[in-house]
Amino acid sequence: MEIRKIPEHGNFGRGTAKFFPKRPVRSFRDLEVYQKTSQASADAMRKVTPKITGKYPMTDKMSQCLLTIPNLIAEAHSRRFEDEKAGLKLLDESMAECNKMVVYLEQVRDIYGGEVDRSVCEELIKTYIYSREKIFRLYKAWKRFHEEHERNAGRIREAK
């Protein structure tokens, strides 16, 4: 179990820190990136899309994109052991979808700034950029795991 150092509230970088064990991942719902993208998709569907429906020509594509990201993460988590390449490909697709969401939200913010709360768009943009970075780290971790597994399997075969 990994131990994370969490700064006390209002005391970032100074003074004492509390330590919290990182919870084990038992399902895709335990992944922070799934939780963040799921919440962001709900926020966008409630706070952004109703204000641009019928105006922004990409509304349907944007809605499809934001709902797809958590689904891709969940499916990648399910396939990560069964078919390593398929799981990594799904994570790659989810990163591309995060990038698309940033573009869609920037367009909506810039075109409909008077009708859509700019701060909501900015927060969602930050969330999708952060999520893309987290998905990339998850991608690298899963890839490293599979490479180590293959090396270990090769050593076992050589020993026989």
Answer for the pair 73, 80: CB distance below 8 angstroms, yes or no: no
Q: Is the pTM of this model over 0.75?
A: yes
Q: Is residue 21 part of a domain?
A: no
Q: Is residue 4 part of a domain?
A: no
Q: Is residue 110 part of a domain?
A: yes
Q: Is residue 17 part of a domain?
A: no
User: In CATH, what number is assigned to the domain containing residue 90?
Assistant: 1.20.1440.60
Q: Is residue 13 part of a domain?
A: no
Domain that holds residue 109: 26-159
| Domain total in the chain | 1
pLDDT at 85 over 70: yes
Q: Is residue 88 part of a domain?
A: yes
Q: How far apart are CA 51 and CA 61, in angstroms?
A: 15
The Cβ of residue 73 has, within 10 Å, a number of other Cβ atoms equal to 27
Task: Give the tokens for residue 30.
Answer: 């335990």
What is the reported pLDDT for 67? 96
Mean pLDDT of 64-80: 94
Which parts of 1-140 are beta strand (E)? Answer: 3-7, 17-21
Q: Is residue 48 part of a domain?
A: yes
Q: Is residue 8 part of a domain?
A: no
Which is higher by pLDDT, 53 or 131? 131
